[in-house]
Structure formats: C-alpha cells, structure tokens
Structure 1
C-alpha cells in the first residue's frame, strides 16, 4: 500500500511508479493514518539531517546507513512495488517488512561493525545476510522509483567483478573477486554504497533540496515568476522570455529540471500560446530553459557539490566560473525566442506588464536568503552549514511578507516536502555508489579513458563527441546527476589529459615552457632544450611529448602549467561532462523534461523533444568553448572578449539555423550568417577575423531590422 495524493497543479504523464512531487500541506490532514506516518517520518528525516550537517559528529558510515534507511523507508511507503498494489494490504505488509529490515540494517552496522573487524574482516552469517539483503533493497527501491535500467546496470557491474569479467578478453578483462570481498567493499567499506556518493547525498544534496523547498514554501516561486514577467514585459516576445528568465531563476535553487518545467510551465506555456507562439515551440522553450536551470549557480542541481568533491576545487570557485557559461546558454535560448517572436509577429501581452518596482516592493525579502547563502560561502563556511543558516534566513525573511509568513505549519510542510523531494534521489545515489565502487575497484575508469583517447586518435573534438554520445545513451536510463557521476568517473581523465596536453604543446611551440619543466625533457632528449627555449613546430613538439614516459607526464604538467591551471583544467573537464549530461533532458527518445512540457502544451511528445533539442544547442556549443578557450579560469580581459564574441556568434548561428534574423534571410545571407558565427566562435581564429565576423553579423542585423520595419509599417 502506498500513500495516494492529488497534485496541486497539472503534471505530465509519467510512469505509474514515479513519485509525484505534490504538496503535503493538505495531505497530512487527510485523516489517513499512513499519510500521517509518512509526514512524521519526513519531518524526522529533515530534522535529523539538519542536525547531522550542522552540529552532529556521528561516524560517516552510521550516517550513510541511516540516510539510506530513512529515505528507503519513505520510498517504500510512497511507491508501491506494482501500481495495481497501491491499495493492497499485502503490499503494506511487505513494505512494513522492508521498513523493519532497513531499521535492522542500521542497528546491525552500529552494534556489529566492530565485531567484523575483530574477526579480521571475515564474514559470519549475519554479515552475509545483512549486506546481501541491503543491496537487494537498494535494487528494489530504485526499480520502484526509477524503473529497471539502473538496477540492471548495478547487477551488470556487480556480476562483472565476481563472475563474467574474467571471461572477457582485452583491456576489460578482470580476474575477479570473491563474493565476500565484493559484499564487504560494497556494504562496509568507505567506497561502496555508503561511500563518497552517499556522503554527497546526505550532506550537500539534501541540504540544498531542503533549502529550495523552504524557498518555494515561502513564496519565492511566485516572486520569481512575477519578476520574470515584469522584466520581460517590454521585450519582443515577452512571454517567451518569461519562460527563460523564470526557469533560469527557479532552476538556480531547484534540483530537478522536470520539477522546474512543471512548476513554471503551467504559467509560461499558456502565456506563450496566448501571445501567438506555436504550441510546440512554447513547450520546447520551457523544456530548454528548465534544463538550463541545472546549470545556473548557486545550486546547479547536485552537480556543483559533486564537482567540488571530485576536483577538490572550492564550491565558491565552481559557482563563480559557472556563471558566464550559464549566461551564454540562456542567451542562446533567448535568441530563439526573439527570432520566433519576429517570425510569428509576437511582441508582448497585456498580462505581463507588472511594474518591477511593485514586484520588488512586495517580494524583495526573497532575495535576502540567497544573499545570506552566497555571503556565507564567500566567508568560507561549508556549503551544508551555509544552507542551514540560509534556511533560517528564509524563515526570518518570510515574516516580511503579508501572505507567506512561515509559521509552525508551513515550516513542517517545507521540511516534509524537502524530504519527499529527496527520497528518490537518495536511494538512486546510494545505488550509483555501487557502480562507482566497481569502476574504481576494477580500474575500468582508467581503461575507458584510455580507450576513448585511442578511438579519438588524440583528438579532443572527437573525444567530446564520444562522451556526448555516451551521455545520451546513459541518459536514457539514468537521471542527470547519476549520468554525470558515472561519466565523470569514466571519461574525465581523458578530457583532462587532452586539454592539458594541448596547453603544454602550445607552450612548447611558443617557447614559453617554464625552466622547471625542462628537466623532464632532458631525460628524453638532451638536445631538445634549445628548441624548447626558442620554440618549435607543433608536429615536433607533439613528437617530443610523445616520448615522455606516462609516469612523468603528471609531474611535467604540474611543473609546466602550475597547480591553479591544472585545477582549472580538471574542473573544465568535469564541467564539460556535466553540461553534456544535461542533453538527455531534451534529446529523444527519452527526454523527460520535453515530455513534461509537451503534456502541459498538449503537443506530440517526440516532436516536442526534437524541438527542445534544437533550442538547447547551447548544451553543445558552450562545452566546446570550455574545451578550446580559457572560458573556465581565464583572466578578466580574456573572459570579456570570449563572452562578447560568443554571444554574437551564437545569435548568428541561431539566425543561420532558423533562416531568420530580424526578417527572413535569403540563402546567400543565411550562408553569411553561418560564416559570421564560425568566425566569432572558432577559438583559433585571430581577433581580426572575429571582428570581421561581428561586422558581418551587425550588418545583417541592421539590414534585416530595416526590412522588417518596412514590411510591417502601418498602411
């Protein structure tokens, strides 16, 4: 038996076993005893996690097991094993057994972990039973909430370690581990289901999902939509820009692109259709903009926290360097809005003209919690502690509102909603920890990175294309966060090495290689020192670098590039993968964000997905800029130049794709727009060629504007 509920707003069609993110505010008063159990459990989990992340000092294994048990129990009560069992007493019986088993698992770890180490890590009957059942419960809970793909992926990974890996030939052959060793590494060690991914889940991810739930409950969502409508009221195609601005701002604190689409799309899609935008275009814009919300600081879904853990780059640095790429993405979506608005003769609508001053007068206090959060992060507080104080700031700021003051009931509702929003993500990340453990245990990650480099022939562009294809395939079954974790583990080293190598080759070619790095080349070719000082052709530099033993290349990169550049290069590799992982949201055949928007707009889901994929082209352009330019970690002057040319270059590319700028483009002018975009976006062109591209684009823009004004002048 599972808690039934009614969504408070239109929701897209979804699998029967998927959790609907509805409102607890009426649910816990419905009178059903199970609803009250779920509500109470949600409150308990929220309070416990806030305590753990702020002042608690419990062992991490205990916390991780409690995290899984709590949210596993919540999932068991929320989602039935099969949809037709939703009101079955037998289902309630089995779900109760699962809850009791989860509680028993936590108690076993607390009271019997020391006994395992006293036996020299030799399993007894209890260890076998508890570890095996716990893994099976992970698989079942993920199957209920996310379908069969991820459990099958986990089973393939686990059986590879103990069974069929030794049958493989070639680089992926693995001699195998015993079942006992696998269970120990998966359950008790600090690298399995209760390892680094679990720690990220119960700390960063939960605290910011809870922070977002408090913001929504305080009325910040309404403020964001009102602010977007007021800012976009005078723009050409204003309702389309409401979707872009609203979804971007909402996504900055939301952890789900689908939830972002549903919460903002019910307002923005009807607005766009009323103004004259085609229904499929309106749904595509909402899907593309909501996907971009995952890229918008300060939260970025869960990606920023996982990146900080993987790269050891401070969280504040990550959200700082992520701002310009996110801005470029939303501008690229906005260019499609403007072009379509011109083509469809959409200007603005009378119901989006809310004065900005009025919006800020009534809702300025919603900005305070975000300001507190960012200020605390800049001051050096941990993200979890900053999120905890940010939640207090939300409550305090809400008392400046006339309509959304957060009293005890609203606070409890926000806690419950935050826990419910976290439940699916928690069990999913616990399960993905099993896959990541297999990757690190077997060395598959390094092998995969080497194979990608080999297949791409050392080409960075081909490597990125291969990773994009892999992300799309993984994205058919894995949510964005899980897809990024798996791909980051597998392919980040390959992209990092290629970017770092290209920087190193450029220094060798220009004769700017630091003296400290010459010693490595002395071991390879003593006669090369003079050439390194004077510079050498790129092919000679590449041949010389190829002679450096693999064991020395890491040291060479550290000496040549410096610690900061190496860190930014590693961050660039992860940022590229994180961006590419988003494409499954808008790329058929499985594009849940586009399907959610299609359900609201009542348009064909697959055709809507194709439209959203076209409108989200920034997901591919911006990562290429990251790879070939210092868009991540560059100096201020370089970033300004890159940003300006990237903005106009993407606008020119949109015009070339759509055949429309300010007016319809002929074939020759469309080709000119494409040439202009290439000149401005291609990283290896000189400044003069980029300026020529800018001049071409501006000329096309001015001519198109004059033609449009002439053709649409009143008679």
Structure 2
C-alpha cells in the first residue's frame, strides 16, 4: 500500500477516471444505477420482507456492478483499449449481479440436494469469490485480497501442515465455498448485513446533509464560533472536522473536504504549514470517533457486543470530545508560540446570522437522536432523518428539489462503493476466524505473551493495530483485530475488576461458591480483604473453564457489558492510529498534499498531535470514563482534560510562555498524577493545583515578555 489517493477519494472521483472520459454516456448510466441501488436499499431497510441472505446477495451484486463500472480495471490511453476494458468491466459487473440472482433462484434447490454442489454451484461460488477479490483489489489494493486468499487456503489446504496450536485439519473446497458464499456466511454473513443496513443508511444520511448545504453551514459555524480567538483557524479545523466527521465517517474525505478551507486559513494566520496539515489530519481522524456514524465502527461494535447502537454512541461521545480538546490544546500552544492571529471575519456573517440562516441543518441530527431514544431501530431512525433533511431544507433559501434529491441518492451510493466491497470481503476473513477457532487461540496467545499483564496486552494490541493498519483500512483493521483480541482484553479487564473485589473483601456469595469448589481451603481468605499477590494466587487456582462463570457471578451485568464495550472501544481507537502514523498514513498524506508539505514529516507531526489516540484508551481500561455514573464520568473527564494538557505542555515545552527545562520535565508526572488510576481525588486535586499554578506562572511570564495580542 502506498501514498496513492485513498479509496474514499477514489469513490468520489471514479466516474472522472481518464479511461472513462471516452464514454460520456457511462456517467449518466452510473448516475441512474446509483439511484436505483439507493432506492432498493431504502426499501430493504424499511418496507422490504426479503430474507437477509437474499438482501446481502443483492447488495453484493449491485455494488459489484457499480464498482466494476466506476473503478477502472487498468489504465489505457487508446480508444480501442478503453472500449475493451469497458466491455470486460461490464461483463464482470453483470456476473456479480448474476451470482446474486443465482443464489436467490436456486437456494431451495441446493438445500433439496442436501447442500451437495452441482456444476453450476461450483461455477457461481468460484466466480463470486474471484469477483469480490478483484473488486477489493480495485478499491483497497492488493493486501486484503491476498489476506483472504491466505485465510481460505489455510482452511482448505495448508492449515493441516501447521504444527502446534494453529494447526487445522482442514475442510474440503465444497464446504469452504458453501460457507463463503452460498451458505449465507462469509461474504453474505453478519458483516454484509451491517453494510447494507446500518452503514448504508447513515452514509446516505450524510450524503443528504452534504447535498442540502450542511457542510458549508458547518464550516461557517466553526469560523464564526472559533475564528476570532488567537489561533482561531486551528480551532476552526478542529471544530469543523469534528462536526463534519460526525456524519461523514471517513477521515480522508473529512480531510479533503474541510482541509481545503482550514489549512490555508491556518497558514494565513501564521501557523507553520506542516503543523496546519498535521492539525487537520489529526482532527479529521477524530471524525471517526465522533457519534453518530463513527465510520462503520459503531454498527459493527453493536453487532459484536450485542449492545444497542444508542448505548455505543452514548458512551463514545465524551471520549471523542476529550480527543478533540486534546488536539485543540496543541493548537492553543502553537498559536501562542507562533503568535498566530485570529481569522479576519469582520466582513463575514456574524454567528447569530449563520445560526439564523442554517439552524434548520441541526434539525435532522436532533430528529435522529430523538428517534433512537424513542426506540426506533438505527435503520428506521436514519430513514426518518433522511426525510427530515429534505423537509428541513425547505426552510432554507435553497430547498432540495427533486433533482437535488436524486443527486443525494446517487452521491450516497457512490460514497458507499468502497465501504460495501470492503465489508463484504472482510466477511470472508471473519468467517475463517470463526470456523477455525483461531480467534480464541490468538486471544490465549496474547494473554500468554503478556503474562496476564493488562498494560502489555494493550501494547501488543497497539502494535498489531499499527501493522494491520499499514495494509487494511481502519474499519477492516478493527474488525480483524476485534475478532482476534477483544476476548483476551475483555477477560483481563474483568479479571482486574475481580481482583479489586478480592482485595476489598467484597466478593459476592455466589462467586465465593466457585472459589470453594476450586480451592476449599480458601474459605478463610475469602472472608477478609487481601493483598494483590494473595488475590492473584487465589484466582490462579480457578480453572479457565470456570472463569466466565466466576465473572458472571462476581460482577454485575452492567459492569460486564461496559467492560466488553470498553474492550472493543480500545481496539477501535487504536485502529485509528494508521491514519496518522508513518510510514502509511493516508489522512496525513492527504493533508500534506493540500498544504504542499513533505508527506512523511507531515505524518510525524500528525502522529504527535493525535497523541490522544493512545492516552484516552487507557482511561477506558482503568477508569469509569465508559460505564460509570454521570458523576464519575464527569470527574474522570475533567481531570483527564488537565492531565492531557499537562503532558502536551511537557512535550511542547510551552504553555502560555516557554517553560524552563525542569518545569517541562515536571509536566509529565503532574499529568500522570491526574490520569493515573489510583482512585484518590486528593492526588488528582494536587496534580490539578500544580498544573494550574504552572499555567498561571506561564501566563504572567508571557504577558511580561511580549505585548498582549488583541483579538478584536
């Protein structure tokens, strides 16, 4: 994978590929097909009664056809070569649609034969697999198709030659093909169902918002709200990327849509070009952490954990806000150091005028959240929100006409092409993991390598996410890593909670009974608090088979649910680091192209600014930021906010003024004091007072050293 334009960008520009310009009629065909696909999916998700497997098959066929026609197979400059490529692409697209209709038409016949393959079954299954791998190659590169081939051949062939825990006796190719396509697993399994339901509906919702003019409103709102502060353009980038990312769910698309405005503004105000690009990349990466869309992560997480989508986005909101504030801290410090000015907006509209002219753009988001709270499913809520976008636009000066509605339908479908193909293809890998049980094996290995240490486990997962992110898009990296490592992380987090109960002597009676079965002599120890070493020794005598029962008896259902969500949220956050971590960081590369700065150096700058990606997940594990009471979550949030600010000040050596070397070093332990999971508010308060004292000294030193910069 290299620094070529991202899949998200290619989706939006696919119809403009050079080899397609020789066929202007194709653009009109794609426009019409995209509308048909959008209307079909709206029907599937609202009024339709087709089986989920049939809808998944049609989802693959439709987007396979769109991918074949809109993402070129190869580049050719000759007219005859272009025509040949087009003919081949049309045949491939029709073949994908044909595979879908074959499954629908001959599914009953397959089951009537006892799932024994006919010649046609062999041909269709192999064709479907070959097509989805080719479409994945076109949209995401070679890595995912090669990974799928390795996984499929492992199940059918070379797994039997692997010794040790990763050995697998193997399945015949007929079974592999059945489980991959015709059986409704693999390509057409749970990941595909998430794709055609939740993900499609919310991407379509985002397309309607963009087409209605909400994108321009968001940027204008950000400029008016933050532009007049010192370093305001940086805050505009953070604010607008957060708002835009909350509905777009694509970090690269977020970068190119907002960065073309915010990066020049930051440079004009006095920010270094590389810093401006880094801020935009880091802020746009946070867009996938911001509800309601979160890329596709919120829907996949809800499916994996069996926790409601509304709960997922509810617990994700506060950490996402903390991340954006951490990026804003870098902006504040750099603004003071570079003496960056505010945005000159005197001639532009005032905040009240922007709100007066665009308040209706906020209505669809309010209706979406209200529909979810009322009890509608996410797909129905998204459908209602889409209708509300159209109705709300009638309150503006540019109401959506039938043409605009059709354009929004087409835009949403085209924006979905890469995501649909990606999720359908990744379903093959997930199917292999579940079939072979390799996920449980991998989780046990992580636990073994980490020696039961939760911190080392987190480090291993972070390294694995970075490596996977070099070849996989963020959503795919989360799916693979979540399947493999979430059980291990969840188990260790539950173990930590149980150890706390043992050390406090608060173990419930039902859990004591399990300990008594495993170690009858432990009765006296269980009746009193114990030290950490004794608690670990006692827990070690409980067989692994009894651990899950022990957790269920010792911990409340709410606690276990939130631990599972926190484990997946940690992995989801760490999966984002490939956007801003060299050597492959497409979001940073996209920002570098806008700022005209060196790609790799911009990547390192974005990586530094996005440090919240690594700090905040630690709070998921060792604090009640996820799953605590409102008071507990607020306390953690406030102290974490200042703790992260202190660490950033230590990294930058600057607050309101340059810090002496000894004060810079002191910022790290002061920040850690407010972030460390010691549970002592007195220590948190001590760290906060030390930091505020340093901030006050730095502010006075800054006023003494340089004249105040006015913001009027």
Match of 1:62 in 2: 54
The within-5 A match list for 1:172-183 is: 172-183=166-177
Counterpart in 2 of 1:355?
A: 350
Give 1:626 shift. 0.6
Match of 2:364 among 345, 365, 369: 369
1:14 maps to 2:9: no
> Is the CA contact 2:162–2:168 (under 8 Å) kept in the aligned structure 1?
yes
**Separation (CA, whole Å) in 1 of partners of 2:403 and 2:9:** 27
TM-score w.r.t. the length of structure 2 is 0.96
Indicate conservation of the 8 Å contact 2:255/2:280, yes or no.
yes
Query: Which residue number corresponds to residue 254 of structure 2?
Result: 260
Which residue number in structure 1 is paired with residue 699 of structure 2?
Answer: 705
Q: Does 1:277 align with 2:257?
A: no
Check whether the contact 2:588–2:602 (CA below 8 A) recurs between aligned residues: yes
Cα distance in 2, alignment partners of residues 32 and 347 from structure 1: 47
Q: Deviations over 1:327-376 (max 9, x none)?
A: 11001000000000000001312137642211110000000000000000
Q: Is the 8 A contact 2:11 2:417 kept in 1?
A: no
What is the CA distance between 1:15 and its match in structure 2? 7.0
Distance (whole Å) between structure 1 residues aligned to residue 486 and residue 184 of structure 2:
22
Which residue in the other structure is 1:42 paired with? Answer: 34
Question: Kindly tell me: are residues 409 and 469 of structure 1, through their superposed partners in 2, closer, same or farther at Cα, counting changes over 3 Å?
Answer: same
Equivalent of 2:87 in 93, 97, 114? 93
Taking structure 1 as reference, are residues 114 and 23 closer, same or farther at Cα in structure 2, changes over 3 Å only? closer
Q: How far apart are the structure 2 equivalents of 1:16 and 1:348? A: 35
Q: Distance in 2 between matches of 1:643 and 1:662?
A: 23
- Cα distance in structure 1, aligned partners of 2:10 and 2:633: 42
Equivalent-residue separation in structure 2 for 1:54 and 1:487 (angstroms): 32
User: What is the CA-CA distance between 1:61 and the residue it aligns to?
Assistant: 1.1
Aligned-pair CA distance for 1:101: 1.0
Q: 2:647 aligns with which of 643, 649, 653?
A: 653
Pairing 1:384–2:379 present: yes
Whole-angstrom CA distance in 2 between matches of 1:442 and 1:563: 29
Pairing 1:480-491 to 2, within 5 Å after superposition: 480-491=474-485
Report deviation, 1:439: 0.4
**Superposition deviation, residue 18 in structure 1:** 6.7
The residue aligned with 2:502 is 508
Correspondence 1:82 to 2:104:
no
Distance 2:250 2:7 in 1: 19
Using the TM superposition, give the Cα deviation of residue 666 of structure 1 relative to its aligned residue in structure 2, in angstroms.
Answer: 0.9
1:441 to 423, 428, 435: 435
Q: Name the CA distance, whole Å, in 2 between partners of 1:86 and 1:346.
A: 51
Mapped contact 1:297–1:322 kept (Cα < 8 A):
yes
Q: Tell me the CA shift for residue 241 of structure 1.
A: 0.1
Q: Distance in 1 between matches of 2:99 and 2:229?
A: 57
1:537 to 531, 546, 564: 531
Alpha-carbon RMSD: 1.9
Which residue number corresponds to residue 184 of structure 2? 190
**Cα distance in 2, alignment partners of residues 304 and 697 from structure 1:** 35
Distance change (3 Å), C-alpha of 1:253 and 1:23 = farther
Aligned to 1:630: 624
Q: Map residues 668-707 of structure 1 onto 2, 5 A cutoff.
A: 668-684=662-678, 686-707=680-701
Check the 8 A contact 2:573/2:613 in 1, yes or no: yes
Asked if the contact 2:11/2:415 (under 8 Å) is kept, the reply is: no
In 2: Cα distance, 1:374 partner to 1:86 partner: 52
Q: Is 1:281–1:608's contact at 8 Å kept on the other side of the alignment?
A: yes
Q: 288-297 vs 112-121, which deviates more?
A: 112-121
Which residues of 2 match residues 269-668 of structure 1 at below 5 A? 269-351=263-345, 354-403=349-398, 405-668=399-662
Equivalent-residue separation in structure 2 for 1:452 and 1:579 (angstroms) = 19
Q: Does 1:143 align with 2:137?
A: yes
- Checking the alignment, whether the CA contact within 8 Å between 1:142 and 1:428 is kept in structure 2 is yes
Question: Structure 1 residue 712: deviation in Å?
Answer: 1.2
Cα distance in 1 for partners of 2:676, 2:472 equals 33
Which whole-Å deviations, capped at 9, do the CAs of 1:75-130 have from their partners, x for residues lacking one?
Answer: 10011111236961111111121122122212211111111111111111011000
SS of 1:630's equivalent in the other structure is coil
The gaps in structure 1 that reach 5 residues or longer are 1-11
From the superposition, tell whether residues 51 and 709 of structure 1 become closer, same or farther in structure 2 (CA, over 3 Å). same
Q: Are the structure 2 counterparts of residues 138 and 23 from structure 1 closer, same or farther at C-alpha, using a change threshold of 3 Å?
A: closer
Name the CA distance, whole Å, in 1 between partners of 2:543 and 2:299.
34
Query: 2: distance between equivalents of 1:646 and 1:482?
Result: 30
Instruction: Work out whether residues 315 and 626 of structure 2, in 8 Å CA contact, stay in contact via their aligned partners in 1.
Output: yes
User: What is residue 3 of structure 1 aligned with on the other side?
Assistant: none
SS in 2 for 1:292: helix
Per the alignment, in what secondary structure is the counterpart of residue 248 of structure 2?
Answer: coil
In 1, Cα distance between equivalents of 2:546 and 2:321:
39
Range with bigger deviation, 203-212 or 348-357: 348-357
Does structure 2 retain, via aligned residues, the 8 Å contact 1:64–1:199? yes
Q: Measure the CA separation in 1 of the matches of 2:587 and 2:365.
A: 26
Deviation at 1:573, TM superposition (A): 0.4
Taking the TM superposition and a 5 Å limit, the aligned residue runs for 1:13-32 are 14=5, 19-22=10-13, 32=24
Contact 1:576 1:626 in 2 (8 A): yes
Instruction: Return closer, same or farther for 1:431/1:86 CA change in 2, 3 Å cut-off.
Output: farther
Check if 1:226 corresponds to 2:217: no
Residues 156-207 of structure 1: per-residue CA shift (max 9 Å, x gap):
1001111111111111111111011100111122331100000000000000
Give a deviation string over 1:259-289, Cα, whole Å, max 9, x none: 0000000000000000000000000000000
**Structure 1 residue 60 displacement after superposition:** 1.0
Structure 2 unaligned runs (5+)? Answer: none
Within 2, Cα distance between the matches of 1:141 and 1:191?
19
Measure the CA separation in 2 of the matches of 1:663 and 1:387: 47
| CA distance in structure 1 between the aligned counterparts of 2:93 and 2:425, rounded to whole angstroms | 17
Q: Paired residue for 2:208?
A: 214
Distance verdict in 2 for CA 1:610–1:453, change over 3 Å: same
Shift of 1:462: 0.8
Go from structure 1 to structure 2 and tell me whether the alpha carbon gap of 1:253 and 1:24 turns closer, same or farther (over 3 Å shift): farther
Q: CA deviation at 1:31?
A: 8.8
Contact kept, 8 Å, 1:510 with 1:536, in 2: the verdict is yes
- Per-residue deviation at 1:689? 1.7
Counterparts in 2 of 1:247 and 1:46: CA distance versus 1, 3 Å: same
Q: 1:125 aligns with which of 119, 122, 139?
A: 119
Q: Which residue of 1 aligns with 2:237?
A: 243
User: 1:500-533 CA distances to partner (integer Å, 9 max, x unpaired)?
Assistant: 0000010011011111211101101223233223
Contact in 2 for aligned 1:80/1:86 (Cα 8 Å): no
Q: Which moved more, 1:328-337 or 1:342-351?
A: 342-351
With structure 1 as the length reference, what TM-score do the two structures score?
0.96
1: distance between equivalents of 2:74 and 2:523? Answer: 70
Contact 1:18 1:145 in 2 (8 A): no
